[in-house]
Amino acid sequence: MPPEAAGAAGAEAHFRALESLYRHAPINALFESRLEIVDEGVARIRFEAADRFFHAAGAAHGTLYFKMMDDAAFYACNSLVSDRFLLTTAFNLNFTRPLKSGPVVAEGRWVSGRRRVFVAEARLIDADGEEAARGTGTFMRSHIPLSGLPGYRAE
């Protein structure tokens, strides 16, 4: 097998293992969602903005915005790192419209950094195709090996 093919196969295996890690994270039992790593530096999470996530005024609480955007940006960056788990060090979030019930997509895209610190942008797109939020996250390499984490495996 040529090295280019092995590299592509290795990247795909890493992407699937990260998707498995997401599915196995205990927090995600609270949020029905599906991660898809589309390409190196690009991640999408599909989820429902359900009434149980609403605040008293009938729209999604900021917790849902942050969780999904942080995860999308995080996985976009961790798709570039195959040996270590990244950690969020900062996340700036701008709300642009309320999320009502329905399907939502969180899109994360790596912007810069490949050594120690990574920066990614994320946004939420509602069922009407409108942007509901935008944010930027900063992530850094941890000392935690991905290979030792429960769930990090290609399925």
| Average pLDDT of span 12-29 | 97
Which of 87-122 are b and which e, b meaning 16 or more Cβ less than 10 Å from the residue's Cβ? eeeebebeeeebbbeeebbbbbbbbeeeeeebebbb
DSSP 129: S
pLDDT at 46: 98
| Domains contained in the chain, number | 1
pLDDT at residue number 2: 31
User: With 50 as the cut, is the pLDDT of residue 70 above it?
Assistant: yes
CB 61 within 8 Å of CB 98: no
Structure tokens at 86: 């990244």
Position 8 confidence tier, pLDDT thresholds 50, 70, 90: confident
Average pLDDT, the chain: 94
Question: Is residue 116 pLDDT above 70, yes or no?
Answer: yes
| Count of other CB atoms within 10 angstroms of residue 38 | 14
Q: What local confidence, expressed as pLDDT, does residue 4 receive?
A: 39
Residue 1: per-residue pLDDT:
29
CATH value at residue 123: 3.10.129.10
Q: Is residue 68 in some structural domain? A: yes
pLDDT exceeds 60 at position 110: yes
- pLDDT (0 to 100) of residue 106: 98
Q: Does residue 153 fall inside a structural domain?
A: no
Average pLDDT, integer, range 102-111: 98
Q: What is the pLDDT of residue 103?
A: 98
Q: Which of 137, 149, 139, 90 is nearest to 116 (CA)?
A: 139
Average of pLDDT values for 34-41? Answer: 97
Residue 155 domain-assigned (yes or no): no
- Under the banding of pLDDT at 50, 70 and 90, the label for residue 49 is very high
Over range 21-29, report the average pLDDT. Answer: 96
Q: For residue 44, what are the domain limits?
A: 3-148
Within a domain: residue 72?
Answer: yes
